Structure 1
Amino acid sequence: MAALALVAGTLAGCSGKGNNGGEAGGSGGAKSPSASASANASGKAGEPVKLKMWGGVPPEAGPQAVVDAWNKDHPDVQVEYVRYVNDDEGNLKLDTAMMTGQDVDLFVNYSMSQTAKRKESGFTLDLSAFTDYDVDAKMGPDAAGWKIDGKYYGIPTTKSSFFVALNKDKLDAANLPVPKDWTWDELREYAKKLKAGDGYGFIQHTEPFVDPIDSVLSQDGYTKADGTSNLDDPLVRKWLETLNGMMKEDKTTPPLGEQLTSKMPVEQIFLSGEAPMLNIGAWLLRSSNNFTDYPRDFKIAFAPVPRLAGSADKYVTRGGIGDYISINAKSKHTDAAWSFLKWYADGGMAPLAAGGRLPASKDADQEAALKSLLGDKADTYDRDSLMYVMFDNKTPTYVRSVPQEVMDLRSQEYEKYFLGSQTMDQTISAMVSRHNEFLKTAK
């Protein structure tokens, strides 16, 4: 890791103004909108430009259909899709590929934290060099959350909806309504009522554990007026105590130790009917539409992600728009990559809707995307609640922008709490202390 960090620093130091000075990577400056997509090709006459796009979605869930459609109509620019898993190991694989000069022309970022690190390492092309695509006009005001120092280093391409998926049949049997506005305390009560035997009432991946914290701190601030850490905000404590209580007192959600050691397949558990509530995003539909691998006999309803009690007046939820696609600043084919990226964002990505990824561009065919989203399984979903969480819920959204170092130190400390190796007071104290140290070194 130390060696990789050294390489990253070297790359960043050598990047020059190609990243931040307005030049379009190796193309020597911005091309006019009429410039040939293959203007910076490999130089071998008659051969197509070959691009590699790295993303976290399995090829069969839409990306392969996307590149196949492009390749059919653009014989002079051929795209290959490379899958990486969107976890720590997978993101390290992508970053290492760019550090070591492997073929990466375009890549998808799934958080602002990842994007910011890659921008600092010189991997992301400053798109202000191109003047033929207005990201703000195409994607709307939510796009601004992806700017770094007022510039776009990629295009956010999808509407990102996060929600709690619900087994509607079990809700009906328990006489529980589908919520449109609820708190984590209320979800905790739902989990108690829906728990059956030794099963769980609520499950989630470990990745969204921190979402309620960022919902609070994106509004209250990650630092206080005096510049010190705000990780001791009372609502941070409230969230950690709530989730820990569900794990250990209620036994309605898996203990962290069990979840980590078993690599719990939470989507499969929900779709099999074993757990009635799942905190997840729209990508669930890529599995819930797949009755071959995930057969089910119940209808799925949808509810917004709950808020912490006491935060109603400033509640924001994770979401907005995402799948932020950047062009590698070291790519030899930035103009070709730009042409593909514009096409992708304005509707070329439509096949991904079947996996829950709706295009964000105003110029994309949203009705066609919705039909693709539901496929022939529309009657297995509660359409009203689906439409509410994806289109009608007006709760403001945030894009996670906290530095990766802070993400890491937080998770390291709250995992100790959930695993029982330190108390809540020790956890809060350690997070604050480590965050303050980070703030000193980051100045």
Structure 2
Amino acid sequence: MIKAKWLAGGMGLVMVLGMAAGCGGSGDSSSSGGKQSAPAATTGASQAPAASTASGKTVKLKMWGGVPAESGPQAVVEAWNKQNPDIQVTYERFVNDDPGNLKLDTALMTGQDADLFVNYSYSRLQKRKDAGLALDLSAYSDYNVDDKMGPDAKLWQINGKYYGIPTKKNMSFVWLNKDALDAAGLAVPALDWTWDDMKEYAAKLKTDKRWGLLQHEANYMEQVDSGTAALGFVKPDGTSNLNNPLAAKGYEVAYEMQKAKTMPAYGEQMTSKMPTDTMFLKGETGMLYAGEYIFRNANNLKDNPRSFKIAFATVPKLSKNANEFKYPAGLGDVVSVNAKSPNKEAAWKFLKWYADGGMMPMASGGRIPSSKAVNADDAIKLLLSGVDSTYDLDSLKKVVFGTFPTYVSSLEQQVIDLRKEEYEKYLLGKQDLKTTLETMAKRHNDFLKQNKK
């Protein structure tokens, strides 16, 4: 079973947490199977490669990512540019939602400047690979993804090959307003809590001015995948498993909580583009289902002042059966080289540097580098520096830096889209659950037949 391992050897986390307050410096292989040996030396953040061009001209690269420039990416490119005057990188931000990804895809397909880009889901990477936009990294033998990133990296392979390097530790969890929990007489949830427990917590935390639970749009209905991934998205006989009982439970619990008004109605949230992370930090919800990316805002106390302490809980289970649940985690932020870029070699040099420590300025915003070339303790110090007292460190240690059985959804984007079309009808009250599940499965089966390999 694949595990998400957030800490790599050396100093234990408890010691790190104890030292964090005194730490300074806060800032917001490509082999297809990893079998062949990599060269003895690989460049890290402090030793950027000495690049040169045959013409002597400066190569200009553009990297597209979903993180605001001021939350780390700008510091990253500035550090690279200072060390590499012959390869200069600029950063373009796109919002990681459907319109934002369409903006990136359009840039890639129309030949706009996009030499490197970050994929935040397997389905997006698959779609870009199929369109010939993500470079097959097996063309290079000087970087071993498996050796550097560990076994979780393989979850991002497509047909045994890498079309991007997963660069950070990834995990979804529940952010908790600890002060609101205490006022309601609720303990920080146990690691094995369920969505039935979540419903009770949301009901007790709900007030006239505060929701019980918000789900970040990027993680919406992720609880369905947590159960389905453990069972398999496709049954052994090759037919759809999107209508399994755990999936039904996942959709149903969301509908019930919206009906009870302990979380916003789906239509209201999506239409208004609710700023869920900001609402949580303002105390407008007791719980937020999101990921580590919220740290960039939670740690920014100047722009997001808060008086309450934040605690953490694991993603709730739909079933108490350990074999019917996996955690949405592993590795993420898969950075690809545009297969159509005229500067692929320069982009590859930057990508190796970025993965092996160049991305360190992103750590203060929750993006912990996954490369073994990076000292994980240093990244964690950046994450907690100056703000450790604003978190419940015991739950942070157990949840954010815990070790759990994980998955990365391998559903194709077309299937994700058709499934969303159907569950939206259910959540909006336009279709009952039975019809929703049956239609999902039928449409998935049609897709499987049309794309049978």
State the TM-score, normalized to the length of structure 2.
Answer: 0.87
Give the corresponding residue for 1:408: 417
1:427 and 2:436 equivalent? yes
2 CA distance for matches of 1:21 and 1:185? 44
2 CA distance for matches of 1:270 and 1:196? 14
Give the corresponding residue for 1:352: 362
Within a 5 Å distance, the mapping from 1:274-313 to structure 2 comes to 274-313=284-323
Give the corresponding residue for 2:446: 437
Letter in 2 for 1:205: H
| CA gap 1:33/1:368 in 2 versus in 1, 3 angstroms | closer
1 CA distance for matches of 2:31 and 2:218? 35
Task: Decide whether the 8 Å contact of 1:53 with 1:79 is kept in 2.
Answer: yes
Task: Decide whether the 8 Å contact of 2:31 with 2:143 is kept in 1.
Answer: no
> Once the two structures are superposed, what CA deviation does each residue of 1:54-80 show, in whole Å capped at 9, x if it has no partner?
111110000000000010111111111
2 CA distance for matches of 1:234 and 1:389? 27
Task: Decide whether the 8 Å contact of 2:31 with 2:138 is kept in 1.
Answer: no
2 CA distance for matches of 1:197 and 1:117? 43
1:95 shift after superposition:
1.1
1:232 and 2:232 equivalent? no
1:430 shift after superposition:
1.4
Match of 1:220 among 214, 219, 231: 231
1 CA distance for matches of 2:199 and 2:96? 29
Give the corresponding residue for 1:251: 261
1:262 shift after superposition:
1.9
> Once the two structures are superposed, what CA deviation does each residue of 1:194-247 show, in whole Å capped at 9, x if it has no partner?
112363111112332231221222221222233221111011111111110001
Task: Decide whether the 8 Å contact of 1:283 with 1:355 is kept in 2.
Answer: yes
Give the corresponding residue for 1:73: 83
Within a 5 Å distance, the mapping from 1:25-174 to structure 2 comes to 38=51, 41=53, 45-174=55-184
- Give 5+ residue unaligned stretches, structure 1: 1-19, 23-31
1 CA distance for matches of 2:404 and 2:31? 37
1:269 shift after superposition:
1.2
Task: Decide whether the 8 Å contact of 1:37 with 1:336 is kept in 2.
Answer: no
1:147 shift after superposition:
0.6
1 CA distance for matches of 2:231 and 2:284? 37
Within a 5 Å distance, the mapping from 1:177-192 to structure 2 comes to 177-179=187-189, 180-192=191-203
Letter in 2 for 1:232: N
State the TM-score, normalized to the length of structure 1.
Answer: 0.88
Task: Decide whether the 8 Å contact of 1:33 with 1:131 is kept in 2.
Answer: no
Letter in 1 for 2:334: Y
2 CA distance for matches of 1:325 and 1:275? 33
| CA gap 1:292/1:278 in 2 versus in 1, 3 angstroms | same
Task: Decide whether the 8 Å contact of 1:239 with 1:308 is kept in 2.
Answer: yes
Letter in 1 for 2:67: V
Task: Decide whether the 8 Å contact of 1:38 with 1:335 is kept in 2.
Answer: no
1:50 shift after superposition:
1.0
Higher helix share: 1
> Once the two structures are superposed, what CA deviation does each residue of 1:174-194 show, in whole Å capped at 9, x if it has no partner?
222212221111111111111
1:208 and 2:219 equivalent? yes
Using CA pairs under 8 Å that are at least 6 residues apart, name the structure with larger relative contact order, 1 or 2. Answer: 2
Give the corresponding residue for 1:28: none
Letter in 1 for 2:125: T
Task: Decide whether the 8 Å contact of 1:178 with 1:303 is kept in 2.
Answer: yes
> Once the two structures are superposed, what CA deviation does each residue of 1:157-183 show, in whole Å capped at 9, x if it has no partner?
000121100011111222222122211
- Give 5+ residue unaligned stretches, structure 2: 1-29, 33-40, 44-48
Letter in 2 for 1:289: N
Q: How many residues align?
A: 409
SS for the counterpart of 1:123 is coil
1:337 and 2:369 equivalent? no
For the aligned residue pairs, the C-alpha RMSD in angstroms reads 2.0
